[in-house]
Structure 1
Amino acid sequence: MTITYDIAKRDETLADRGLDFAHAEAVCAGRTLTHADVRLDYGEASFVTAGRLRGRIVMVVWTPRGTARRIISMRQANEREIKEFGPILG
């Protein structure tokens, strides 16, 4: 799977949250839960994937671009998400 992202947004997320978009491929390579984000009309399909990165549950928001996944955002899961997804993700 090919991962793409905006370099400036990656740098901002790395500085603010300590998460690197470059590691999104590792998140997606493991056990994941993905659902379409239909809360708003973003003008393109948007998906949220929960997965593990170094033992932590993280949430990756992405959109398909051809055969690639364009990363939009990445953050640590909140307490509700940890309780909901933790048992499923193992």
Structure 2
Amino acid sequence: MKISFDPKKDEQTRLERGLSLALGAEIIRSQVAVRMDSRFDYGEERLIAYGYLEDRLHVCVYTVRDDTLRIISVRKANEREVARYGR
């Protein structure tokens, strides 16, 4: 499956969080849990994956469009998420 993301959003995420949206693919591959993001009506099905980059739990929000995973956001998991989904 192909991976895509908004280059401007990637630059913003790199500056604010020190992470590239490209890392979302690794988070999805290493996922320990995935759930639907049903907080709002986004007009598309969004998924939230929890997975590891090295020894740290991270979160990736993404959607599937045809044969492409569209990465929406990547961040470190917060304490609550680590307690729930961590090793």
| TM-score, length-scaled by structure 1 | 0.90
Q: Give the secondary-structure state (helix, strand or coil) at the position aligned to 1:75.
A: strand
Check if 1:27 corresponds to 2:44.
no
**Residue 7 of structure 2 aligns with which residue?**
7
Aligned residue number for residue 66 of structure 2: 66
Aligned length: 87
Deviation at 1:58, TM superposition (A): 0.6
> What is the aligned-residue RMSD (CA, Å)?
1.1
SS at match of 1:74: strand
Runs of 5+ consecutive residues of structure 2 not aligned to the other structure? none
Structure 1 alignment gaps of length 5 or more? none
Identity score, percent: 37
Q: Within 5 Å, give how 1:70-85 maps onto structure 2.
A: 70-85=70-85
SS of 2:38 mapped into structure 1? coil
Compute the displacement of 1:31 (Å).
3.6
